[in-house]
Chain A
Amino acid sequence: MTSAAPILEISGLKKHFPVGTWRIGSKRETVKAVDGISFNIYEGETLGIVGESGCGKSTLARLLLRLIPVTDGRVFFKGTDLLAMNRLELKRIRKQMQIIFQDPFSSLDPRKRIGKIIDEPLRIHGVRGSHNRTKIVQKLMERVGINYEWADRYPHEFSGGQRQRIAIARALVLNPSLIICDEPVSALDVSIQAQVLNLFKNLQRELGLTYVFISHDLSVIRHICKRIAVMYLGKIIEISDADDLFASPAHPYTQALLSAIPVSHPKHVKKRTILTGDVPNPRHPPKGCRFHTRCPIAEPSCSASEPPMKNINSNHQAACHLI
């Protein structure tokens, strides 16, 4: 992992959303959706980001592409500072980074034919020659498994799985090096999900893509990712090689999360750590370690200070006072 160059370097990334009403003389309340995240993504790898709803996964995805303004922190894409760029520079560099969303029903314009939808990034980025563009679109549609004869059809004529293939074709049309996938298979049925997951893997092998793969489904993450980051309430609490993480999760939250996965066969009996309670309200996250309110092994000291990231080995870090 360390041999490859980082394609994306993130340090101290924060996003605070203002909420509630603002009163004169008092500071406005914020939700700290992403609160101080640092990690690197290396060329050609797939980094998985897991966490429960509301932990800040999707906000993080948008921050990585600077689709929403950053509160604090730095993002370097191939060594250049993404946050220091002006509009024109940003547009140019976005050719190399694309995003695929969860819901292929709302991410495709219902009034455009799919050929146009896939062609749009090419036009926006000034690829000349309609004949040339048509050839690129045709090649990509066939690559993702959509018949080119259907280019004149509208999105509603396709099933969920096909629409997600169209979204993938659109993301690939500019030949990007980094693709952020925000829950790309969560809306799909099991049999269709397997088709799309295989497509993701094959495309990566052929085109040398780097993926950031966000999902709440641990078995999907396990299947597709080489490295995994676990998020809880706006922070990364553990990041590790996939094999290592599943074999020996260090953080008590990761342990509980893994033990909560339903078994894959009725004869497997699982020792389960059931977490009590719910994820706390992100408006008022617990003091100290954010997990201490639900942690089965918490000690009084856990609520005193935030745990720093500790090295378990060179490819495995976790943030817990008790390891």
Chain B
Amino acid sequence: MNPLQPSPYLLDCQGLSVTFRIDGRDFKAVNNVSFQLARGEVLGVVGESGCGKSMMALAQLNLVPEPGYVSGGRILFQDQDLRAKTERQMQAIRGNRISMIFQEPMTSLNPVFRIGRQVAEVFLKHQNISRKEAGELTLQALEDVGIPAPHKCVNDYPHQLSGGMRQRVMIAMAIGCNPDILIADEATTALDVTIQAQILELMKSIVNRFDMSILFITHDLGLVAELCDRVVVMYAGKIVETATVTDLFDNPVHPYTDRLLKSIPKIDSPVDELTIIPGRVPNLTELARSFCPFEPRCLISSEVCRNVSPELQKAEKDHYVSCHHYGEATS
């Protein structure tokens, strides 16, 4: 790897790998993943359960749970390598410059403390201010995320709020210090569709108001279409395709992306029979050897797919794909 060069991107993740060591054997949950996030951009990361998207997100903040660890690669945030930081330095970044919201707002809030105290903690931790000032910032933050009566809400406990309100509180905590990057890991998955629409509108307005970048992790391609500028599609720990969002939906070139898009039931154009992807996602134990992980489910696979793992190659401007058969006549 060449020495540090200034990156034009806010976040530049190069060759990131996350490994889990279980019973002396290594399993790669994230395998040599590279992507870039520009300022003000919303980058979607899609994939099915177990594809490594959450681990990839946690690795950005050095939060990969035991027995997993970041086993390779570089994460450049504003030209500084986050992997070289100490835990204390990381704490100054987490929640301050890069913050994260999770799927389950109930489990991410502490049930025994009032909302006000939990939100104020963010300000007290990262800004050198008095409790009174932190209280005012808390009210402002809660108002920013559209909580109807912030004065009342600060005295509530998490269980007194609905799922949508809890997620708003989480977002208030996450954007309170005006971070550069917000990582949202399945942030709307646990919510009902009408509440999800509210939160999506909120996130759109946050991008505009605060000039923030969002790393939006989801399994729902509809949300990607709705919110994101660019998409990374992951499968079995690897990036299989990355493109701008319109490009990906108009012209998916990886067979997995192509069939995934077709396998979603469409509201506006119902079909009689859905396109399916046969088989199932491989589990981590099957990924030790070198091959294309999608090969067992792929309709155009050949000998080379079984023996060589494909590299990400350029398809068009801003469009990369990792498939041996890219460029041939595809069906």
Which A positions have Cβ atoms within 8 angstroms of B? 52-53, 159, 161-162, 189-195, 197-198, 201, 216, 218-220, 222-224, 246, 256-268, 272, 274-279
Q: Taking the complex as formed, is B127 at the interface, i.e. its CB lies under 8 A from any CB of chain A? A: no
B266 touching A219 by the CB < 8 A rule?
Answer: yes
Chain B binding surface, main DSSP class = loop
Task: Please report the C-alpha to C-alpha distance between residue A123 and residue B181 in the assembled complex, in whole angstroms.
Answer: 59
Q: Which of A159, A193, A263 contacts B226 (CB 8 A)?
A: A263
Q: Taking the complex as formed, is B162 at the interface, i.e. its CB lies under 8 A from any CB of chain A? A: yes
B194 touching A264 by the CB < 8 A rule?
Answer: no
| Most central of B164, B195, B221 by chain A CB within 10 Å | B195
A190 touching B165 by the CB < 8 A rule?
Answer: no
Residue of A whose beta carbon sits closest to that of B190? A53
A218 touching B276 by the CB < 8 A rule?
Answer: no
A263 touching B192 by the CB < 8 A rule?
Answer: no
Task: Please report the C-alpha to C-alpha distance between residue A279 and residue B163 in the assembled complex, in whole angstroms.
Answer: 11
Q: Taking the complex as formed, is B196 at the interface, i.e. its CB lies under 8 A from any CB of chain A? A: yes
Contact with A along B183-207 (1 / 0, CB 8 A): 0000000001111111011000000
Given A260-B193, A275-B194, do A266 and B265 touch, yes or no (CB 8 Å)?
no
- Which residues of B sit under 8 angstroms from A159, Cβ to Cβ? 280
B276 touching A262 by the CB < 8 A rule?
Answer: no
Q: Which of A198, A219, A256, A266 contacts B273 (CB 8 A)?
A: A198
- Which residues of A sit under 8 angstroms from B225, Cβ to Cβ? 262-266, 268
Q: Taking the complex as formed, is B78 at the interface, i.e. its CB lies under 8 A from any CB of chain A? A: no
Which B positions have Cβ atoms within 8 angstroms of A? 48-49, 148, 162, 164-165, 192-198, 200-201, 219-226, 228, 245-246, 249, 259-260, 263-268, 270-278, 280-281
B260 touching A264 by the CB < 8 A rule?
Answer: no
Task: Please report the C-alpha to C-alpha distance between residue A220 and residue B194 in the assembled complex, in whole angstroms.
Answer: 16
Give min CB distance, A52 to chain B, whole Å: 4
A198 touching B280 by the CB < 8 A rule?
Answer: no
Given A262-B222, A265-B225, A275-B194, do A219 and B263 touch, yes or no (CB 8 Å)?
no
Give min CB distance, B158 to chain A, whole Å: 15
B259 touching A191 by the CB < 8 A rule?
Answer: yes
- Which residues of A sit under 8 angstroms from B270, Cβ to Cβ? 222-223
B194 touching A194 by the CB < 8 A rule?
Answer: no
- Which residues of A sit under 8 angstroms from B192, Cβ to Cβ? 52-53, 216, 279
- Which residues of A sit under 8 angstroms from B280, Cβ to Cβ? 159, 161-162, 192
- With contacts A198-B276, A262-B200 known, what are 10 further pairs, Cβ within 8 A? A194-B263, A198-B274, A222-B270, A257-B193, A257-B194, A260-B194, A260-B197, A264-B225, A267-B249, A278-B162
Given A191-B259, A197-B274, do A264 and B268 touch, yes or no (CB 8 Å)?
yes
A266 touching B193 by the CB < 8 A rule?
Answer: no
B48 touching A219 by the CB < 8 A rule?
Answer: no
**Which 5 A-B pairs have CB atoms at the shortest separation, nearest pair first?**
A262-B222, A223-B265, A194-B263, A260-B197, A52-B192
Given A223-B274, A274-B201, do A264 and B196 touch, yes or no (CB 8 Å)?
no
Task: Please report the C-alpha to C-alpha distance between residue A219 and residue B266 in the assembled complex, in whole angstroms.
Answer: 6
Residue of B whose beta carbon sits closest to that of A294? B194
B195 touching A278 by the CB < 8 A rule?
Answer: yes
Task: Please report the C-alpha to C-alpha distance between residue A129 and residue B309 in the assembled complex, in whole angstroms.
Answer: 52
Task: Please report the C-alpha to C-alpha distance between residue A189 and residue B236 in the assembled complex, in whole angstroms.
Answer: 14
Task: Please report the C-alpha to C-alpha distance between residue A192 and residue B266 in the assembled complex, in whole angstroms.
Answer: 16
Task: Please report the C-alpha to C-alpha distance between residue A274 and residue B146 in the assembled complex, in whole angstroms.
Answer: 13
Q: List 25 A-B contacts (CB under 8 A).
A: A52-B193, A52-B194, A189-B48, A190-B264, A191-B263, A191-B281, A192-B280, A194-B274, A195-B278, A216-B193, A222-B270, A223-B271, A262-B222, A262-B226, A263-B226, A264-B225, A264-B266, A264-B267, A266-B245, A267-B246, A274-B198, A275-B198, A277-B148, A279-B162, A279-B192
Task: Please report the C-alpha to C-alpha distance between residue A162 and residue B268 in the assembled complex, in whole angstroms.
Answer: 29
